Copies of this chain bind each other. A is one copy, B any other.
Amino acid sequence: MDEILASQLRELVTSRATAALGTLHSGAPYVSMVPFVMLSDASAFIVHVSRLAAHTKDMLAEPQVSLLIAEPEREGVSPLALPRVTVVGTARQLPTDSPQHALARRAYLARFPEAAPIFGLGDFSLFAITPTSVRWVAGFGQARSLTPASFARATGTPGIGA
Chain A residues in the interface with B (C-beta under 8 A): 16-18, 20-25, 27-33, 35, 54, 64-68, 70, 72-73, 78-80, 82, 84, 86, 88, 112, 114, 135, 137
Given contacts A22-B30, A24-B28, A32-B86, contact A17 B64 (CB under 8 A): no
Name the B residues within 8 Å of A28 (CB-CB).
Answer: 24, 64-66, 88
A79→B33 contact, CB < 8 A = yes
Specify the main secondary structure of chain A where it touches its partner.
strand
Closest residue of chain B to A72 (Cβ to Cβ) is B72
Is the pair B86, A18 in contact by a Cβ cutoff of 8 Å? no
* Besides A22-B29, A22-B30, A31-B68, 5 new A-B residue pairs in contact (Cβ under 8 A), listed by A number: A16-B73, A18-B79, A30-B86, A32-B68, A33-B137
